[in-house]
A = this chain, B = another copy of it.
Amino acid sequence: MTQLEHARQGRVTAEMKAVAASENIGETVLMAAVAAGLAVIPANVKHNDLRPIGIGRGLRTKVNANIGTSADFPRLEDEMVKLQAVLDCGCDTVMDLSTGGDITAIRRALLERSFIPFGNVPVYEMMIDAPRRGTPFVSLSAAQMLDYIRRQAADGVDFMTIHAGLTRRAIEKLRKKPRLAGIVSRGGSMLTAWMLHNERENPLYDGFDEVLAVAREFDVTLSLGDGLRPGSLADGSDWAQLEELLTLGELVQRARRAGVQVMVEGPGHLPIQQVEMNIRLQKEVCAGAPFYVLGPVVTDVAPGYDHVTAAIGSALAGAAGADFLCYVTPAEHLGLPGEQEVRQGIMASRIAAHVADVAKELPGALDWDRRMAEARRNLDWAGQEALCLDPGMFRRIRERRGSRTDACSMCGDFCVYKILDKYRL
């Protein structure tokens, strides 16, 4: 049985207990949110030693980091280093998007070390592994695709991006109103190629009931992918994106009916003035399903700084109700991220998530800022270091630009807190 089914039957599972405790909320409140599909707890029954987290209404905004090999950087060791960085940085979940080397072995090795929920995009293994076995992706049958998904689920993958909402109708919309940047989802583009090659409907849409059966068996949380997410500002909120969103709304209903936990992925590139609208629209269309935002990257012009462009978009998205933020690294649009870029991406996303939590008025969120401001006011540098998001970075900058005074090297004796100390203001 899935967490959703347990919740519906009024059972508080061990996972719900753990999540409620870590979020400092009531267990029955959480159970009700899970039962209503407003929150999910990605926890594959085969994932040993998982520390479960919750994603959705009333819970802290979560951050995901994507790691994984590519054809150019296929070494498992590099990805193990990145996984360690993900864990060290306090990231909530990790996705393995490997597309190089022995995908299956890499997934298993990473999953074994990951005590946080572990996600993937099943199509990636299909597109790499099937051709090696003599079957190009576009020649895979729906049954063969399902086999991949089943094996991945049996390995313990907690959540999977499934691009089931990308239908022929949506591709028609794309042809009627062409895009500047086309399709930028890799999974989406592979499925589109399959559909155009075979002149048939998306096999994950047509076979969605079978996908649901596998998901239910292992309690894999489905993350309904937006294969037609805009990949440039100019394409934001266009017909193709909205057509797919409408289908995702239906698929959310079907998943919930089947007892499968489900969330929905959202737009990649959007002008800032469209961010809030997109979040509210998705929440409306998808009946409050947890929203997993990719970016949103709010300008196309800043490769090298897309952790910043995404922090802007995702802070705003989170404040408007998005539940789960996929990090973006400085290497986005340029190459596979290295370990340092993984760290930068996580920190930028964690900032956005906390900024959103303050806006959501989550219990305790603003308290963190309060405690930090208090330590700052008291010139309590050890306290600030202990409280801040990244004590290592705090220390490095202090050491490099440190001060002979008990204040900092910017203001020295002209620190505001020294100037007014005697007036107690």
Q: A residues bordering B, Cβ < 8 Å?
A: 70-73, 99-100, 127-128, 171, 174-175, 180-186, 188-190, 192-193, 196, 231-235, 269, 271-273, 298-305, 307-309, 311-312, 315-316, 319, 330-331, 333-338, 341, 347-348, 351-352, 354-356, 358-359, 366, 368-370, 372-374, 376-377, 384, 387-390, 393-394, 396-398, 400-405, 408-414, 416-417, 419-420, 423, 425
Given contacts A335-B403, A366-B271, A397-B335, contact A388 B189 (CB under 8 A): no
Q: How far is the CA of A235 from the CA of B407 in the complex (A)?
A: 22
Among A181, A188, A335, the one with the most B-chain Cβ atoms within 10 Å of its Cβ is A335
Assess whether A394 is in contact with B334, with CB atoms less than 8 Å apart: yes
Among A330, A336, A402, the one with the most B-chain Cβ atoms within 10 Å of its Cβ is A336
Given contacts A190-B419, A309-B355, A351-B302, contact A181 B409 (CB under 8 A): no
> Which residue from B358, B388, B405, B411 sits with its C-beta under 8 Å from A303?
B388
Q: How far is the CA of A402 from the CA of B70 in the complex (A)?
A: 12
Can you offer 24 A-B residue contacts whose CB atoms are under 8 A? A71-B412, A72-B404, A182-B377, A182-B416, A182-B417, A184-B416, A185-B416, A190-B419, A192-B420, A235-B373, A271-B355, A300-B370, A300-B376, A302-B388, A304-B393, A312-B315, A312-B351, A333-B408, A334-B394, A335-B397, A335-B398, A335-B408, A338-B401, A341-B401
Q: Write the nearest CB–CB distance from A181 to chain B, whole angstroms.
A: 5
Assess whether A71 is in contact with B413, with CB atoms less than 8 Å apart: yes
Given contacts A180-B377, A184-B416, A341-B397, 8 further A-B contacts (CB under 8 A): A100-B412, A192-B425, A196-B425, A235-B373, A301-B388, A305-B390, A333-B408, A334-B394
Among A234, A411, A413, A416, the one with the most B-chain Cβ atoms within 10 Å of its Cβ is A416
Pairs A-B, 5 closest by C-beta atoms: A335-B401, A232-B373, A304-B393, A71-B412, A335-B409
Given contacts A388-B303, A393-B304, A420-B182, contact A72 B309 (CB under 8 A): no
Given contacts A70-B411, A403-B72, contact A181 B333 (CB under 8 A): no
For A334, the chain B residues whose CB sits under 8 A away are 394, 397-398, 401, 408, 410
Q: Write the nearest CB–CB distance from A99 to chain B, whole angstroms.
A: 6
Assess whether A409 is in contact with B231, with CB atoms less than 8 Å apart: no
For A366, the chain B residues whose CB sits under 8 A away are 233-234, 271
By beta carbon, the residue of chain B nearest A68 is: B410
For A174, the chain B residues whose CB sits under 8 A away are 425
Q: How far is the CA of A70 from the CA of B400 in the complex (A)?
A: 15
By beta carbon, the residue of chain B nearest A233 is: B369
For A377, the chain B residues whose CB sits under 8 A away are 180-182, 232
By beta carbon, the residue of chain B nearest A397 is: B334
Assess whether B425 is in contact with A370, with CB atoms less than 8 Å apart: no
Assess whether B182 is in contact with A336, with CB atoms less than 8 Å apart: no
Q: Write the nearest CB–CB distance from A136 to chain B, whole angstroms.
A: 12
Given contacts A366-B233, A373-B231, A397-B335, contact A420 B193 (CB under 8 A): yes
Assess whether A390 is in contact with B302, with CB atoms less than 8 Å apart: yes
